[in-house]
Amino acid sequence: MSGVPVAVVTGANKGIGFAIVRALCKQFPGDVYLTARDPARGQEAVAKLQQEGLRALFHQLDIDDLQSIRALRDFLKEKYGGLNVLVNNAGIAFKVHDTAPFAVQAEVTLKTNFFGTRNVCTELLPLVKPYGRVVNVSSMVSSSALGGCSQELQQKFRSDSITEEELVQLMNKFVEDTKKGVHDREGWPNTAYGVSKIGVTVLSRIQARLLNEKRRGDHILLNACCPGWVRTDMAGPKATKSPDEGAETPVYLALLPSDADAPHGQFVSNKTVRPW
C-alpha cells in the first residue's frame, strides 16, 4: 500500500474540475486523480495536462453509477488505504432554453447533483484520512433558491439538526411535487438546479456536523463552496471568471493547512464564509 497522499476530483475532464486538477498538480504533495465518467474524455484531459508538464492520474468515475463509485472506493482503499482530499465537482445544468418538462429537469438534475454527490460521499467519506479535506462544489444559486423557498422549507434547510434522511426525503419530495405539478404550491422555487444545490450545501452542513460527532479528533475539514460565475460549457462564454479563477476557492478549501480548524461545515465563496 502506498503512503503517498492522494487527491480525487470528480467531473474533471473539463471546466472547473479540470482547472482544479491542474492547480492540485502544481500544489498538492501527492497523487492527483482526474476522474471522468467517460474514459476517453478523461485520458484526453490527462494528456493535455501532460503537455503542460503536469502529472495527473486517471480513474473512471460516473457519480450516477454506484458500481463505478464503489470501484473507485475499492481502488483507493487497496492502493492508498484511503484518501486525503476529495473534491465533489461533477454536476449538470439544463440550459435556460431547454424545452424538457420541468419534472424531467428536476429528476435528472437532482439525480446527479444531489443523489450522485451524496452517493460519492457515502462511499468515500469513511475512507478520508485524518487531516483530510472535502470540498463539495455547490453554487450561490443555492442561496438564492433558498430565498425562493417557503418559510417552512427555509427553516428546515437552515436547521442545525436536520438529518441526512430528512434532507433526502425533501429532495425526493421536490421531484415528486414537480411530477404532480404542485411544487409551486408546496413552497419550492422554480429552479431544479437551485434545489439540487440547496441539497449539496445542506448535505455539507450535515456531514460536517457528523464528522464533529463521530471523528472529532481527526481534524477533517469539509465545506461547500461556490466557484463564482465561470466560463465553461455549463455557464457559457459571458461568465466573468476563467476556469483557473473558478478553481481558486475549491483549491483553497482542498489545501487548508493541517493546523487550520476552520472553515468547516460552511458555505464559502471567494474564499469567504457566507451566511446560509
Rounded CA-CA distance 127/108 in Å is 28
Residue from 66, 92, 108, 210 in contact with ligand NAP (CB under 6 A): 92
Asked if 234 is part of the footprint of ligand NAP (rule: CB under 6 A), the reply reads yes
CB 69 within 8 A of CB 45: no
Number of residues that bind ligand NAP (CB under 6 A): 33
Asked if 239 is part of the footprint of ligand NAP (rule: CB under 6 A), the reply reads yes
Asked if 136 is part of the footprint of ligand NAP (rule: CB under 6 A), the reply reads no
Residue from 6, 7, 8, 11 in contact with ligand NAP (CB under 6 A): 11
Residue from 233, 237, 257, 259 in contact with ligand NAP (CB under 6 A): 233
Asked if 209 is part of the footprint of ligand NAP (rule: CB under 6 A), the reply reads no
Under 8 Å CB-to-CB from 239, ≥6 apart: which residues? 229, 230, 231, 232
Residue from 5, 8, 9, 17 in contact with ligand NAP (CB under 6 A): 17
Asked if 63 is part of the footprint of ligand NAP (rule: CB under 6 A), the reply reads yes
Stretch near ligand NAP under the rule CB under 6 A, chosen from 87-95, 123-131, 168-176, 267-275:
87-95
CB of 185 to ligand NAP, least distance (A): 27
Which of residues 31 and 62 has its CB atom nearest to ligand NAP in the complex?
A: 62
Is 80 among the catalytic positions? no
Stretch near ligand NAP under the rule CB under 6 A, chosen from 1-9, 14-22, 146-154, 167-175:
14-22
- Reported as half-sphere exposure (CB side, CA atoms, 13 A), residue 83 has a value of 26
Stretch near ligand NAP under the rule CB under 6 A, chosen from 30-38, 74-82, 211-219, 268-276:
30-38
Q: Which residues form the catalytic set?
A: 193
